[in-house]
Amino acid sequence: MKKIIPILIVGIFFLSSFGAVATRNEVNINLLTNIENEQDIDGSSGTHTAFGEYATSTTCGYCKYAHGALMELYSEGQLDFYYVSLVCNKNTKASTRASEYNLYGYPTVWWDGGYKVNVGAGSVPGAKSAYTSSINSCVNRDVEDVDIDLSATWLGGTETDIDITVTNNEATTYGGYIRVYITEIASSMGWKDTGGHLYTFPFLDYAFNQTLSISSGGSWSDSITWDGTANGYSSVTEDNLMIFAAVFNDEWNQGYSYPPNQKPFDAYYVDESAEYRVGSNRVPDTPSSPNPHDGKTNVDINADISWQGGDPDWFDTITYDIYFEATNPPSLVVSDSEDTTYDPGTLDYETTYYWQIIATDPYDESSEGPIWEFTTEINAAPATPEINGPPKGLPGNEYSFTFVSTDSDDFDLYYYVDWGDGTFEDWNGPHNSGNIVRLTHTWDEKSTYSIKAKAKDIFDAESAFGTFDIEIPRNRNTHNTFILHLLERFPNAFPILRQMLGL
C-alpha cells in the first residue's frame, strides 16, 4: 500500500538549556510537529490506535509538562492512543530505544514510529494541543490491515506469562517488526518527573522485539514468561503491570528527531497497537490529610474543607460523596464531586462539625474515609459600650445620650439600654461597629438613675454592661428651671454657671 511521505514544517523555537544526561539537550520550546494534512477530528474513528514513545529523564525540568499532557489526554479517553515513557537515565533499554530515533533532546514524543514528532514542552495545555494534533493525524492515515491479540497472566512472585498473536488481513505478505513493552501503571521504583509525579507507563523491558513476516491471511504467535526479579524489577506487582504491543511496518521513511531536517533516523511507521492490563482495577485511595485536621479547634467560620484523594490507577476519574453536619454521623451534602475541596458556607461559632468523604471510581469501587471533626472559633464579644450625656436633669425633660461600642470582627451591633426607671431599649440596631448611636429618654421622678447598656453582635455575642449615672433633682423654682433649660440647649456654653450650679 502506498505510504504518504510527510512534509516537515517547523515553527519558531528557541533552545532553553542543556540536560544532565550525556550530550542530549533539555528543550523548552513551542512543540515542533511534523504537520501533514492536519485534521481536527476525533481519532477514535480512525484507522488504528496511535502509539507514542516519550523520551524523558528524571532530571528534565520541562518534561513534567509533556508528562502531564500525556497523562491528562490518556485519562480523558477522548483520543485513540497509547504511550510508553522511556525514562532514559534510569533504564538502558529505554535509552537505547531513544538512540534508535537519534534523540535530539528531552522531552520528545515519537508518534507511530516517527510519523509525527513533538519536541519540547512549555506548558501542559500547549503540549496537549500539539499532541492532540499529532494523534489525530496518526489515527487517520492509511495503514496496513493487521490485528493484535495481546494477553498476559500473572503467575505469582514477579512472573508473568505474555501471549501475543498478530494477524495479517492483507492480500499480500506482511513484513514488519513487533515490539511488546512491559511497563508499570505508575513507577514502583520511584521514578518521578521534576513535578513530583511518578512516571506513568515507564518502559521496563521488552517481552518481544523482533522482525515479522506473515503470509496473507496468516498469523504469527508467541509467548514468554517474564520474571521481574530476574530482570532487576523485584517491586513489580500484578495490578500495576501494563503491557503494550506495537507492530511497525518494514517500509522505510526518512524521519527527523529535530524537524524539519536535523537528527535524521530511519522511520518505520506503526500499523497497529494494543494494550493489556495484567491485574485488576484497584479501589480508590482512602481519603486522607483532612484540612482542618481532625480535632482542630478555633477554626475560622468561613473555612473550606479539603482532603487528599486519588487512585493508584491514576487514569481513573474519582468522584467524592461529601458528608457534613454539626451532628455525628453527618448527612450527605454533595454527591459525585470531582473536587477535593468543599465550601460549607458560613459556619456557626463555637460549634463542632463532623465530616466524612467517600471516594468512588468508574467501576463503583469505593473507599470510605473516617469521620473527622473540628470546632469553630469563639466569637469575641463587643467592647463594653461607652455612654455619654448630661449628668443632671429635671423631671419631665427629654435628654439625649450617646452609646458606642466596637467589635473586633467588625460585625454590626445592637444595643440594649436599661434607663434605670424600669423602662428599656430592647436591642436597638443594627449599627456599624464603632458608630455613635444617639438615644433619648425622659425621667418623671426625682432620683439618681443608673443607665446601663450592653452591645451584642449579629451572632449574639454580648458585651459587659457599661454604666452612666444621671441625677434628676426636685424643681426648685421657675428661675432655676429656665436656667437648666438654657444650659441643656447650649451644653457647652456658660461653664462658670454650670460649675456654680453643680452641673
Could you read off the pLDDT of 435-466 as tens digits, one per residue?
999 999 999 999 999 999 999 999 899 999 99
SS3 annotation, 269-303: CEEEEEEEECCCCCCCCCCEEEECCCCEEEECCCC
Confidence (pLDDT) at 13: 33
Work out the average pLDDT over 419-448: 97
Span 377-397, pLDDT tens digits: 999 999 999 999 999 999 999
3-state DSSP assignment of residue 482: helix
Confidence band (pLDDT; 50, 70, 90) for 500?
low
Confidence (pLDDT) at 486: 62
Percent of the chain surpassing pLDDT 90: 84
Work out the average pLDDT over 404-408: 96
Residue 23 has pLDDT above 60, yes or no: no
Q: Where in the chain is the domain with CATH 2.60.40.10?
A: 288-376, 386-500
Confidence band (pLDDT; 50, 70, 90) for 6?
very low
Mean pLDDT of the chain: 90
Confidence (pLDDT) at 478: 43
CA–CA distance, 384 with 466 (Å, rounded to integer): 6
Topology (CATH) of 288-376: Immunoglobulin-like (2.60.40)
Span 213-227, pLDDT tens digits: 999 999 999 999 999
Confidence band (pLDDT; 50, 70, 90) for 474?
low
- Report the DSSP pairing between strands 50-56 and 81-87: parallel
Confidence band (pLDDT; 50, 70, 90) for 501?
low
Confidence (pLDDT) at 28: 57
Greater confidence (36 vs 444) lies with 444
DSSP structure string for 83-120:
EEEEETTT-HHHHHHHHHTT--EESEEEETTTTEEEE-
Q: Which of 30, 197, 196 is nearest to 123 (CA)?
A: 30
Residue position matching grid coordinates 513484513: 175
CA–CA distance, 1 with 6 (Å, rounded to integer): 16
pTM over 0.85: no
Confidence (pLDDT) at 397: 96
Q: Where in the chain is the domain with CATH 3.40.30.10?
A: 17-144+182-209+246-277
Residues pairing with 467 in the sheet = 452
Work out the average pLDDT over 76-103: 98
CA–CA distance, 475 with 183 (Å, rounded to integer): 103
Classify domain 17-144+182-209+246-277 at the CATH superfamily level. Glutaredoxin (3.40.30.10)
Confidence (pLDDT) at 35: 36
Confidence band (pLDDT; 50, 70, 90) for 70?
very high
- For 28-32, 80-84, 394-398, 456-460, which range has the lowest pLDDT when averaged over its residues? 28-32
Work out the average pLDDT over 127-144: 98
Enclosing H/E stretch for 35: none
Work out the average pLDDT over 91-105: 98
CA–CA distance, 308 with 306 (Å, rounded to integer): 7
Work out the average pLDDT over 162-188: 98
Confidence (pLDDT) at 42: 40
Classify domain 386-500 at the CATH superfamily level. Immunoglobulins (2.60.40.10)
Greater confidence (47 vs 13) lies with 47
Task: Enter the C-alpha cell of residue 139.
Answer: 489515527
Report whether 179 contacts 209 (CB < 8 A).
yes
Greater confidence (261 vs 485) lies with 261
Confidence band (pLDDT; 50, 70, 90) for 20?
very low
CA–CA distance, 394 with 443 (Å, rounded to integer): 8
Residues pairing with 211 in the sheet = 177
What one-letter code names the amino acid at 11? G
Residue 9 has pLDDT above 60, yes or no: no
Q: In whole angstroms, how far apart are CA 450 and each of 173, 241, 392, 472?
A: 111, 83, 12, 11
Confidence (pLDDT) at 482: 58
